[in-house]
Amino acid sequence: MLLRRTLHHHHQIRRFSATSAAALLEEPPESVFTYLPNLPKPDPKYSETIRALPRAASGTNISNKLRKCGLVPSIVFEAEDGQHGGNKRLVSVENNQIKKLVNALGRSFFLSRVFDLEVKVDAESDEVVEKVRVLPRSLHLHAGTDAVLNVTFLRAPSSALLKVDVPLVFRGDDISPGLKKGSYLNIIKRTVKYLCPADIVPPYINVDLSELDVGSKLLMRDLKVHPALKLLKPADTPVLKIAGGRVSDQKKAK
């Protein structure tokens, strides 16, 4: 009831024409890209449809009242040059749903995962005016409470190329020769930006430390990703280094 009163109090939501709605609900073209079996792919456990309502206008007062009703002011953009551009749609999404996904996945992993997003006519209707695949582009949290303040999305049809900061997951530290000798892992990058076809956005990249010895470096070119991904930083940018033993460790060894 609170949600319905807030939406009706501020703005009457304009309905889309039947033609526009039909176009938005068309099936996307079949993808030419698929995840490779030896690389990470999204966990189906988190395959959730994000629920949204149209938002006729923006503004601080409206946004604050929406948040009090458990909603998060959001925008869905068309992708241009891999990032957000024109054709923006104002929507509101459910705070509890976004917070649950962010808590389960982690912030950087939430921002590297494609979701379905479904926009209904209003809170009282089951009529869907837009169903689209989206990539979360940005997420703003309250500094003190971590409450979700707003989130933006990019439309991610099969034809889209998206700029994504893909998180790195470091594995094999327990058997790394260098780390076992007392060296330490100096992580320089925790995410790496790629231009990704929308159908194969990696949820993360595995980084294998198991064979790295003292002084070993890993560069961006060494990361194992789908060949269709384009690295957007210089290939010789360092990701990590197995650095020499700590001073305290060296003193203990004497």
Q: What percent of the chain has pLDDT over 90?
A: 67
Residue 222 has pLDDT above 70, yes or no: yes
pTM of the model: 0.81
Long-range CB pairs of 170-173 (<8 Å, 24+ gap) are: 170/207, 170/209, 170/240, 171/206, 171/207, 171/208, 171/209, 171/210, 172/208, 172/209, 172/210, 172/211, 173/209
Q: What is the dihedral of CA 118, 124, 125, 126, to 10 degrees?
A: 60
Residue 43 has pLDDT above 60, yes or no: yes
Residue 172: C-alpha distances to residues 78, 169, 179, 213, 218 (Å)? 39, 10, 10, 12, 14
pLDDT of res. 227: 97
pLDDT of res. 61: 80
Residue 1 has pLDDT above 70, yes or no: no
Domain architecture of the chain: domains with CATH: 2-157 (2.40.240.10), 165-253 (2.170.120.20)
pLDDT tens for 138-173 read 999 888 888 899 999 999 999 999 999 999 999 999
Is 130 within 8 Å of 137 (Cβ atoms)? no
